[in-house]
Amino acid sequence: MSPTPAHDDGHAYLLTYFLSEEVDGEDVRFAVSDGPTPERFTPVSDGAPILRSTGGDGGARDPFIVRTGRGFVVVATDLRVGTDGDWPSTTRHGSRDIVVWHSPDLVTWSEPRYRTVAPADAGNAWAPKAFRHPERDTWLVFFASALYGDREDRSTGSYQRILAVPTDDFDAFGPPETVVDVGHDVIDVTFLEHEGSWYRFSVNAQAPGGIPDTGHHIFEEVGSGLTAADFRPLAVDIGKDVMLRGEGPAVAADPAGGRWFLLADEFGHRGYQLFETDDLTAGRWDHLAHARLPDGARHGSLLLITTQEADALRALPAAQDDGRD
């Protein structure tokens, strides 16, 4: 769980996101909410990329931002698939790195750093998310990987599990551990903590009990700890009544209390759609059809920021086109 803003001067939400598999779509963009809820956003720098991956696979997808004791960190998937669309290769012989950026103030950012987090038998490292583990007093970065063991032949795929690596500084990472392995694909894990319970959101390819025609939307569970083994389902296929499919959940609590927000990426269609609930335990999420997210915004994260931080981001000029293709 990330620290909240340090001073009480109002707040806004920062949305980090990427767009698509086209041209510069696989770069990190920012948007700031127009008010104290994540229902309307204005893109920072007129929607130009804020962070670019200049090494690795050349793209940065699924950005996730956290506030640390030393500033801010963005982690992202090291992947650019728009050039060839070869998804099978990305899960069999893809990057085992994540991309990391550091900032003291959300405005000035380090150059991208590439850090290997997945084990040698992994085919990929997707959608990193960082949360503070209260008992272990360290950060854990969660991500999805297909593992192949000692298989030399990767002509057939393997299912995605959720792994985690510990870090104190987002520069050095400890060995990976498997935290979710249910025998089928689970990706895009993220969390909310409330009153001592942890709520886990993911894309789970198979709902419990073998329910037909499920597993194409967001899955909500509750457990006693960030890495506990006792998570149980609360909601299967959130948003199925209003979306064709959903992935990339991003979640946030209203600091005023009593309300929580969920973004789900209707990839290939409308991009992010916003949902809310007043009861995390009920598994009932209402679609806020009036919400206006940046055009095409996909799979990212929400962070509560102060009004001063929001104003500094709004003041950033539009970036110049560097001609990247």
Strands (E) in the chain, as ranges, are 11-18, 29-33, 41-43, 60-68, 71-78, 97-103, 113-116, 126-133, 138-146, 160-167, 177-180, 186-194, 197-204, 218-223, 232-238, 247-253, 260-266, 271-277, 286-287, 298-306
Q: Which tokens is 213 given? A: 């025609």
Instruction: Decide if 123 contacts 146 (C-beta within 8 A).
Output: yes
Q: What is the pLDDT of residue 208?
A: 60
Instruction: Decide if 13 contacts 252 (C-beta within 8 A).
Output: yes
Q: What is the pLDDT of residue 215?
A: 76
Q: What is the pLDDT of residue 210?
A: 63
Q: How many CB atoms lie within 10 A of CB 21?
A: 17
Instruction: Decide if 307 contacts 9 (C-beta within 8 A).
Output: yes
> Which of 70-91 are b and which e, b meaning 16 or more Cβ less than 10 Å from the residue's Cβ?
eebbbbbbbbbbbeeeeeeebb
Instruction: Decide if 263 contacts 273 (C-beta within 8 A).
Output: yes
On the question of pLDDT at 3 being above 60, the answer is no
Name the percent of the chain in helix, strand, coil, to the closest 5. 5, 45, 50
Q: What is the pLDDT of residue 5?
A: 55
**pLDDT tens for each residue of 274-320:** 999 999 999 999 999 999 999 999 999 999 999 999 999 999 998 65
> Which of 106-137 are b and which e, b meaning 16 or more Cβ less than 10 Å from the residue's Cβ?
beebeebeebbbbbeebbbbbbbbbbbeeeee
**pLDDT tens for each residue of 92-139:** 999 999 999 999 999 999 999 999 999 999 999 999 999 999 999 999
Q: Residue for token digits 């915004």?
A: 297
Q: What is the pLDDT of residue 320?
A: 55
Distance CA 191, CA 210 (A): 24
**Length, in residues, of the chain:** 325
Query: Residue 240, CB half-sphere, CA atoms under 13 Å: how many?
Result: 13
For 19-25, the CB contacts below 8 A with 24+ separation are: 19/296, 19/297, 19/298, 20/82, 20/296, 20/298, 21/81, 21/82, 21/85, 22/82, 23/82, 23/324, 23/325, 24/49, 24/52, 24/324, 25/82, 25/296
Q: How many CB atoms lie within 10 A of CB 246?
A: 27
Domains (range + CATH), the chain: 11-314 (2.120.10.10)
Q: pLDDT band at 22, cuts 50/70/90? A: confident
By DSSP bridging, strand 126-133 and strand 113-116 are: unpaired
Q: pLDDT band at 209, cuts 50/70/90? A: low
Instruction: Decide if 75 contacts 98 (C-beta within 8 A).
Output: yes
pTM over 0.85: yes
On the question of pLDDT at 53 being above 70, the answer is yes
Distance CA 282, CA 235 (A): 8
What residues does 240 pair with on adjacent strands?
none
